[in-house]
Amino acid sequence: MFGRPARFVARAPGRVNLIGEHTDYNDGFVLPMAIDREVTLVGAPREDRVVRVHSLDFDETLTFGLDFIPREAAGRWGNYVRGVAAVLRDAAFALTGFDAVLKGDVPMGSGLSSSAAIELATLMAFKAAGEAAGRPLDARLDGELAARLAQRAEQRYTGVQCGIMDQFIATLGVEGHALKIDCLDLTHEAVPMPAGARIVVIDTGASRALAASAYNTRRAECEAGAALFRAQTLRDVRYADFVARREGAEGPVMLRVGHVLLENQRVLDAVEALKRGDLEELGLLMSHSHQSLRDLYEVSSDALDAAVDIAEGVEGVYGARMTGAGFGGCAIALTREDAVDALREAIEAQYPQRTGLTPKVFVCRANAGASYRLLDAAAG
């Protein structure tokens, strides 16, 4: 593409959230895992302060200088790249320009966090470019700091006031494990996934056009709920106080509060179930989570409900739920290994009849977080 050998490969995974939806921006608990679908950048450093990235998926080339980084129209993939460059520059990291080709197999707009994958792959590319050029970035640009800067990039350059979960798991995912994250202080614990469990992703093919605006609305409702209980965030609200106050209370704010408080407890229970290898209990918690997201948080959809309903009707499926912001995108199912084919057949046969949409079904495994490696320049 650019007429010279590549010097680095940078990559970052998508994710599924096993349980703990819409709790991260309320300083709650989440249990995501990085998946074996990712965004990859292959590139080489430049001597000037220019970044050129060609997306094979969109057949578009993005070019900008590091001294002036404009936004594009909303929804453009380039904003994630630009946003990361801008926040790194503003945080006083000395960036090296680069040329790169970008390719991803995380489904876009499906609730598997392709945005965080682009952000962290871009951040890794800046680290790789600097090292390849003999101008390595400060070693502090790792782990929690990398996740926070990527989160800031998304908030500033796309307008979605996302929590920290997606960027955190894309950075610190552990192969073969889910990651329990306390979004209050970002303490985390890797929890092994049982050998006999499979996570099946059902891409509903339904648009998530409402997700961004509704996400910001839900966040505002949660802030209103915290204020109602004189708390900084919903993490500080006791369930007993909520129960005492909800009698006779109407309106969406109390529904949102109820979901978040119950969902936080479900995450803690799910971690213990995983540690025991109790897949039936974990599946039940996932099903309860979906019901809460549908009825209390009101972010499910007919397509997501249909996918979950079909999945839960298959023998060997322990439970299913929507994952991501909602209104479309993906559902996930926890299933026995020997039930995967039956689940796929049921979704492919029944889902189009119920929704008129064509689903995609795939199994994912727990992957490692973002990384990069340098290539031998002599080898081309």
**Catalytic amino acids?**
166
Beta strand segments in the chain, E = 8-19, 29-45, 50-55, 60-65, 98-104, 177-182, 188-192, 197-203, 317-323, 330-336, 360-364, 371-374
Closest CA to 25 of 191, 293, 264, 269: 264
Residues in the chain: 380
End-to-end CA distance of the chain: 14
Tokens of 108: 């876009």
> What is the torsional sign of CA 14, 17, 21, 27?
negative
Tokens of 50: 């220019």
Can you spell out the DSSP letters for 267-294?
HHHHHHHHHHT-HHHHHHHHHHHHHHHH
Tokens of 273: 């179930």
Q: How far apart are CA 348 and CA 357, in angstroms?
A: 10
Q: Which residues, in sequence order, are CB contacts of 163 under 8 Å at separation 6+?
A: 24, 25, 26, 151, 183
Q: How far apart are CA 290 and CA 19, in angstroms?
A: 9
